[in-house]
Amino acid sequence: MSEGASFDVIVIGAGVVGLSTAFSLAEVGKRVLIFDRKGMALEASFGNAGALAFSDILPLASPRIMRQALKWLVDPLGPLSVPPLYFPRIAPWLLRFWRASWRDRYEASILAQVALMELARDESEALIGRAGLSHAIRSDGVLHLYENEAQRAAAQPGWLVRERHGIAFEPVAGARLAELQPGLSQQFVAGCFVPGWKTVSDPHEVAVGIGKAALERGAMLRIVEVAGVERAGVRARVVLSDGETLEASHVVIAAGAWSHHISRQLGDVIPLETERGYNTTLPPGAFDIRRQLVFDAHGFVVTPLSTGLRIGGAVELGGLKAGPNFRRSSIMLEKTKHFLPGLKTEGGLQWMGFRPSLPDSLPVIGPSTRSPRILYAFGHGHLGLTQSAATARLVRDLVLGQPAAIDLAPFRADRFRTWM
Ligand SMILES: Cc1cc2nc3c(=O)[nH]c(=O)nc-3n(C[C@H](O)[C@H](O)[C@H](O)COP(=O)(O)OP(=O)(O)OC[C@H]3O[C@@H](n4cnc5c(N)ncnc54)[C@H](O)[C@@H]3O)c2cc1C
């Protein structure tokens, strides 16, 4: 970095959200500096399931999930778990999650999610294309799978909500099911195919590709830990862990599951928690998967990637410090062996990642309460890849002083202050 270089925008975090934001700002001529303590896309953006899940408009906290969660929690290795030692820490978040499941908040979250997803659908392919990565998008949809009528019926209200919001899908069974995914276990009797859902060839490759495109347009990346952010008159100041400080016209906090450590210093106490997720990536050729498969009742998905077959999901509300429990990855792999007879399970790589999650399943996008020059872009939970380009667009609107493409009120940093 040249002596005395000055920057318009500093982006903290080189995950897919920070890199997309840096790219969008560099594209319009802003001088951008990215800080990350590890490098490009080495946390949640590294190993996710690669879905551009535009139809995923239902918040996790729903009247139905509260009943299902109680059943899931009985099994410590089930799709949802809370390690007992972490329970006291996460109890306030769980209380807000429960409040988010009430009908009024649930409906409000859906409307906000629909608006963000419509923007995501418009912006994602466009941004990935401008970064020279169109070849990395797969447009073969997703197939949700059900083992019996009870599972299908349980999912039905969600499909009706999607229908109301104009999302196309096709209920399938019999020969059509077998055509969409040959070789499935006979235990699957029904499915729902969503043609407008897309996946990427590999989420790490795509995030790094966007990051490189940002660097090609003049952005700079520095590997360093950020200790804090503060207001500096009409500008904003970043304090690095070695004490060095840098100022810019705007600072964007896109530090994923760690963002609240920084926002807290600005007086914004945001209930960000991590939903830890697990997977196994098998070598290419493990099974002939035609499109992403979702096993709704088991809380995990199978994704065909250029780098292999990724099997994973699950939610562990266990915080940022405890080590991974890879039995979770193994259990999803064992189940998949039954679901896809003939699956070659050898040679898999296990991974755990920290989803940055808020109780209402919506991210925080917009200014800090301390300064309009300090912007937040974090908390995308299960949908950070899907919503990264939309978030980048919104942050760019704010930096340029233009009206935001959608109403940002549901994504405000202080929205939880009035809860309960
Ligand atoms: C198992 C699993 C499957 C998923 N599947 C999907 C999917 O199919 N589709 C989808 O849309 N989403 C999916 N997600 C969610 C998605 O991965 C995340 O929402 C997304 O990656 C978050 O991106 P981010 O840039 O906000 O955070 P991250 O990728 O976590 O990046 C944050 C960055 O900030 C840096 N950082 C943090 N603190 C500091 C600091 N103080 N100083 C400097 N740097 C700092 C970190 O090093 C990191 O690089 C999945 C997640 C998991 C775990």
Question: Which atom of ligand 1 lies closest to the CA of 380?
Answer: 19
Taking each helix axis as running N to C, give the angle between helix 203-216 and helix 103-130, from 0 to 180 degrees, rounded to the nearest 10: 60
Q: Whose CA is nearest to atom 37 of ligand 1?
A: 255
DSSP letters for 199-235: EES-HHHHHHHHHHHHHHTT-EEEE--EEEEEEETTE
Atom of ligand 1 nearest to the CA of 312: 1
Distance 354 CA to ligand 1 centre (A): 7
For the chain, what is the total number of helices (H) and then of strands (E)? 11, 20
pLDDT digits (tens, 9 = 90+) for 119-148: 999 999 999 999 999 999 999 999 999 999
Q: Tell me which of 154-168, 189-203, 334-348, 406-420 is least confident.
A: 406-420
Contacts of 108 (CB under 8 A, 6+ apart): 410
Q: Residues 338-360: pLDDT tens digits? A: 999 999 999 999 999 999 999 99
| Cα distance between residue 288 and residue 278, in whole Å | 22
136: which DSSP letter? G
Nearest to 78 by CA among 310, 335, 274: 335
Domain 7-411: which CATH class?
Answer: alpha beta
Please report the atom of ligand 1 found closest to the CA of residue 384: 19
Q: How far is CA 258 from CA 32, 109, 272, 324, 391, in A?
A: 21, 23, 8, 17, 18
Q: How far is the CA of 313 from the centre of ligand 1 (A)?
A: 14
Counting atoms of ligand 1 from 1, which one is nearest the CA of 39?
49
Ligand 1 centroid, distance to 52 Cα (angstroms): 14
Cα of 102 to ligand 1 centre, how many Å?
A: 28
| Each residue's pLDDT tens digit, 300-350 | 999 999 999 999 999 999 999 999 999 999 999 999 999 999 999 999 999
Q: What percent of the chain has pLDDT over 90?
A: 93
Kindly list the protein residues whose Cβ atom lies closer than 6 A to any atom of ligand 1. Answer: 12-18, 35-38, 42-45, 48-51, 53, 225-226, 254-258, 277, 279, 312-313, 353, 355-356, 378, 380-386
pLDDT for res 58: 96
Task: Report which secondary-structure segment, H or E, holds 19.
Answer: helix 16-27
Q: For residues 73 and 334, what is the distance between their CA atoms, to the nearest angstrom?
A: 20
CA of 275 to the centre of ligand 1 (A): 11
Q: Where are the domains of the chain?
A: 7-411
Name the pTM for this structure: 0.97
Q: Does position 164 have pLDDT exceeding 90, yes or no? A: yes
Crossing angle for the helix pair 203-216 and 16-27, to the nearest 10 degrees: 30
Whole-angstrom Cα distance, residue 280 to residue 308? Answer: 10
Q: Which of 124, 355, 394 to mutate to test the pocket of ligand 1 (most atoms within 8 A of CB)?
A: 355
Give the closest residue (by CA) to ligand 1 atom 3: 48
Atom 1 of ligand 1: nearest residue by CA position = 277
Structure tokens at 221: 């990346």
pLDDT tier for residue 2 given thresholds of 50, 70 and 90 = very low
Mean pLDDT of the chain: 95
Q: For 253-270, what is the HEC assignment?
A: ECCHHHHHHHHHHCCCCC
